Amino acid sequence: MTYRDTTIDRTQILIDRIMQAQSLLALFKTLDYKSAYREAVKLLHPDLCHISAAGEALIRLNELRLQYEKGRVITDDAGSIWSKDNQAIFRGDSHLLERSYRNLEQLKHIRGEAALHFQHYLPTNVIFSNTIEAQFSHRALPLHGLQLPQEHVNWVLSRLLEVIAWLAEEGFVHGGINPKSVFIVPETHGIILTSFYHMKREGERLRTISAAYKNWYPASVFTQKRATATIDLECCKRTAAYLLGDHSGLGIKLQRTHLPPFINFLLDHHTDPYTCYQDYRKLLRQHFESRFIPLVL
């Protein structure tokens, strides 16, 4: 094999990795990303590289760098969310933002041993004045746009079902769980709930839902219009299907590519959060090895 052939192979591998990467850190796996970035640009430069996909890969590489340096911006029910490292700023409809802030403050003031534990599932510090500025204890990023391997979706769903069981025990329904309202904490395998625009006491009239994800809600929402734990359970499962690669969230197309018992669980109907969480933990013990697998995003 010639030096040229080796360079072409190395460049093709780089192109494949760039197109599959979900972040700059996941691509280079080093804090010295600038030198790694410069080396990649040299390999992909159009004057030196004649692989057809190199141009597209170079564009994607620059997008990843900009995202890492400037942060991410996505739109949600209120307006926009800017996030970078351990902070996020929510902008948009002032009434929705104020509602979200007041609902979050209500949760943060719950006392008790369980509440102390679940504070880790909420932003550590929040300031409201036209915008919501949220601080996290570790680097966190929204689930939106991510696709994760099964072993990581397993623990994300476990965290979601656990926190939903706590909310239900306290008598609350989040009402808007989706990839834009849940942040993932790669370092600790944790999650953080945000965007409490639709939160209600269980049984109260549900006046708003997340319009972008309205097909994720159980049919009863549109007839009874009441806040129930089933809403949060179904939206948690739809979020898991989304993370596995089915952006419809319905999970049906995953039946041919993923473990049937897991997908069947996503498709099953549950009404009690605690029972659902226990059933899910049993499923994990039966079909998956229990070990910590680092996640780099």
pLDDT digit string, tens, across residues 253-285: 999 999 999 999 999 999 999 999 999 999 999
Exposed / middle / buried, residue 240 (Cβ in 10 Å: 0-12, 13-18, 19+)? buried
> Whole-prediction pTM value?
0.84
- Give the mean pLDDT of the chain: 92
Residue 112 has pLDDT above 90, yes or no: yes
| Structure tokens that stand for 155 in this block | 């623990």
Write the pLDDT tens digit of every residue in 68-102: 888 888 999 999 999 999 999 999 999 999 999 99
Distance of CA 5 to the CA centre of its chain: 40
Q: How far apart are CA 118 and CA 253, in angstroms?
A: 33
**pLDDT of res. 6:** 61
| Structure tokens that stand for 168 in this block | 């239900």
Of 42-46, 190-194, 198-202, the one with minimum mean pLDDT is 42-46
24 and 124, same domain (yes or no): no
Residue 7 has pLDDT above 70, yes or no: no
Of 37-51, 228-242, 248-262, the one with minimum mean pLDDT is 37-51
149 and 245, same domain (yes or no): yes
Domain end residue (candidates: 19, 47, 70): 70
130 and 231, same domain (yes or no): no
**pLDDT of res. 30:** 64
157 and 66, same domain (yes or no): no
Q: How far apart are the first and last CA of the chain?
A: 35
State the CB neighbour count (10 A cutoff) for residue 149. Answer: 11
Q: How far apart are CA 295 and CA 39, in angstroms?
A: 25
**pLDDT of res. 1:** 41
**pLDDT of res. 83:** 95
pLDDT band at residue 32 under the 50/70/90 scheme:
confident
**pLDDT of res. 31:** 61
64 and 40, same domain (yes or no): yes
Q: Residue type for 143, please? A: L
37 and 87, same domain (yes or no): no
> Are 78 and 132 contacting, i.e. CB atoms less than 8 angstroms apart?
no
155 and 252, same domain (yes or no): yes
**pLDDT of res. 67:** 80
> Are 226 and 213 contacting, i.e. CB atoms less than 8 angstroms apart?
no
List the Cα angle 153/259/23 in 5-degree steps: 30
3-state SS record for the chain: CCHHHHHHHHHHHHHHHHHHCCCHHHHHCCCCHHHHHHHHHHHHCCCCCCCCCHHHHHHHHHHHHHHHHHCEEEECCCEEEEEECCEEEEEECHHHHHHHHHHHHHHHCCCCHHHHHHHHHCCCEEEEECEEEEECCCCCEECCCCCCCHHHHHHHHHHHHHHHHHHHHCCEECCCCCCCCEEEECCCCEEEECCCCCCEECCCECCCCCHHHHHHCCCCHHHHCECCHHHHHHHHHHHHHHHCCCCCCCCHHHHHCCCHHHHHHHHCCCCCHHHHHHHHHHHHHHHCCCCCCCCCC
More confident residue, 287 or 14: 287
The CATH number of whichever domain residue 185 belongs to comes to 1.10.510.10
Domain end residue (candidates: 46, 70, 94): 70
Contacts of 7 (CB under 8 A, 6+ apart): 43
Looking up tokens 């995202």 gives 67
The stretch 137-146 carries a mean pLDDT of 96
Segments forming the whole domain that contains residue 211 = 142-287
**pLDDT of res. 3:** 45
The stretch 217-231 carries a mean pLDDT of 96
213 and 120, same domain (yes or no): no
Residue 193 has pLDDT above 80, yes or no: yes
Look at the chain and report how many structural domains it folds into.
Answer: 3
More confident residue, 64 or 201: 201
Of 34-38, 160-164, 245-249, 255-259, the one with minimum mean pLDDT is 34-38
Domain assignment present for 228: yes
More confident residue, 230 or 48: 230
Residue 38 has pLDDT above 50, yes or no: yes
Contacts of 136 (CB under 8 A, 6+ apart): 86, 87, 88, 123, 124, 183, 185, 192
245 and 194, same domain (yes or no): yes
Residue 4 has pLDDT above 60, yes or no: no
